[in-house]
Amino acid sequence: MKLHEYQAKDIFLKYGIPVPKGKVATTSSQAATATFDIGEPVVVKAQVHAGGRGKAGGVKLVKSPGEAESFASNLLKSNLVTYQTGPEGVPVNSVLIEEAINISEEFYLGMVIDGSSKGVVAIASKEGGVNIEEVAEKTPEKIITIPIDPVLGLQPFQGRKIAYELGLNQENIRKTADLIQKLYAVFIDNDATLIEINPLVLTSDNQILAADAKLDIDDDSIFRHQEIKNISDISQEDTLEVEARDFDINYVKLDGNIGCIVNGAGLAMATMDVASSAGASPANFLDIGGGATEEKVAKALSLVLSDNNVKAVLVNLFGGILRCDIAARGFVMCIEESQNFNIPLIVRMLGTNAKEGIEILKNSNLNVTFVDTLEEAASKISKYS
């Protein structure tokens, strides 16, 4: 689950990580009042679950409450499109009004779960700011990566090493090492998968501040973080993905036109590869999961079909705990409800009760083509490429 910048900064503050003074506003008049309270100049920042806001016109330095009001009113009724969003962008429902700071230097500081070191790594760079992706690509040697031992946690010398590498003076090394230690506590206590401060700022009056904040929490840990769950903003997420999550279906929307319905995450990925290798492209990742009921299967198919790009559905089921006859009944239930009898379903069913499942589909009015192998499946869907 992603948090907004202002929400992440609220958490930072609780851990003693310094952030600029700020207030969140959901209307333009609140933005004006906040500017007045904080004292101009301020920075008005669109709160969306995407980075790249600065370059996309979502961050602006303003010099009066009136200017804040008019900039906020434009932002608040718009969708912000950045290089990290789709072409439709994400809705701006709130803005953060922050005291403007005089930036002397901008650094990058982050922590992320890293598969290869099997733990958290801290990442930092002297070249922070809005072009960090370019730095990583063109001059990777300017990025410092420090693996953190999951048992020992972040060691004080590691924090000092990062701060030293950022080229800070003695006093600021101490402050920054302390900040890094607190950041690791935020990461662990909140079951984060990613934290980014970009930029971490050295101000002209020698303060170290988190000028931006990005915090992603592991979805599988949300059950033990009710206070975080309560502040989730689903307006920022794909509506189909939100719906899928309510039904405990693992669905990720993609851009292609072949819907995929599969049980098991590995098989689901293999199925997407099949669609791609046939020259077609998957419209989604979907893993129905083991113990699905007919209703859940019906819901899964209806989710896939509510994506208007979907021209055909590739069903790849290996019946185990989920029996093929139950899945077949679920498909029939969905199609009869939606009356969408034309949509081509390319079905591969193996395993528990596969024969019964195939029989149910054969006796239905659904537009089903059966295949035995993935090669056959690929050749059937290649016409949708």
Q: Of 128-167, which residues contact ligand GDP (CB under 6 A)? A: 129-130
Nearer to ligand GDP, 84 or 250 (CB): 84
Residues in Cβ contact with 105 at an 8 Å cutoff, skipping those fewer than 6 apart: 126, 201, 202
Question: Cβ closer to Mn ion: 56 or 249?
Answer: 56
Could you list the beta-strand ranges (E) of 232-364.
Answer: 250-253, 258-262, 284-287, 312-319, 345-351
* Residue 168's binding partner out of Mn ion, ligand GDP, none, with CB under 5 to 8 Å set by partner kind: none
**The one segment of 27-35, 46-54, 218-226, 248-256 that binds ligand GDP by CB under 6 A:** 46-54
Secondary structure class of 198 (helix, strand, coil): strand
Residues 6+ apart with CB under 8 A from 333: 294, 295, 297, 298
- The helix/strand/coil state of 5 is helix
Between 82 and 284, name the residue whose CB sits nearer to Mn ion.
Answer: 82
Q: Quick one: what does residue 100 bind among Mn ion, ligand GDP, none, with the CB cut-off 5 to 8 Å set by partner type? A: ligand GDP
Look-up of token digits 């439709």: 88
Q: Which amino acid, residue 132? A: I
Residue 103 touches which of Mn ion, ligand GDP, none (Cβ within 5-8 Å per kind): ligand GDP
d(CA 213, CA 49): 11
Q: Looking at 68-76, 146-154, 192-200, 326-334, which segment touches Mn ion (CB under 5 A)?
A: 192-200
Q: How many residues bind ligand GDP (CB under 6 A)?
A: 17
Specify the stretch interacting with Mn ion by CB under 5 A; choose among 86-94, 111-119, 190-198, 361-369.
190-198
Radius of gyration of the chain (CA): 25
Smallest distance, Å, CB 35 to ligand GDP? 13
What is the SS3 assignment for 231?
Answer: coil
Per-residue binding string, ligand GDP, 85-124, x by CB under 6 A, is ---------------xx-x--x------------------
**What stretches of 190-312 show up as alpha helix (H) in DSSP?**
226-229, 239-246, 265-277, 294-305
Q: Is 23 in the site for ligand GDP (CB under 6 A)?
A: no
Contact segment (CB under 6 A) with ligand GDP among 8-16, 44-52, 246-254, 365-373 equals 44-52
- Burial code (b: 16+ CB inside 10 Å, e: under 16) for 186-196 equals bbeebbbbbbb
Under rule CB under 5 A, residue 82 binds Mn ion: no
Quick one: 83 exposed, middle or buried, by C-beta within 10 A (0-12, 13-18, 19+)? Answer: exposed
SS3 292: coil
Q: Is 88 a catalytic residue?
A: no
Question: Rounded to the nearest 5 degrees, what angle is found at the Cα of 160, between the Cα atoms of 159 and 162?
Answer: 65
Stretch that binds ligand GDP, among 53-61, 271-279, 302-310, 327-335 (CB under 6 A): 53-61
Q: How far apart are CA 274 and CA 282, in angstroms?
A: 9
Q: Which of 69, 98, 105, 108 is catalytic?
A: 108
Q: Catalytic residue at 356?
A: no
- Catalytic annotation, pick one of 67, 105, 196, 384: 196
Work out which of 69, 98, 212, 287 binds Mn ion, going by CB under 5 A: 212
Query: What positions carry a catalytic annotation?
Result: 108, 196
The residues binding Mn ion (CB under 5 A) are: 198, 212
The residues binding ligand GDP (CB under 6 A) are: 43, 45, 51-54, 59, 100-101, 103, 106, 129-130, 198-199, 211-212
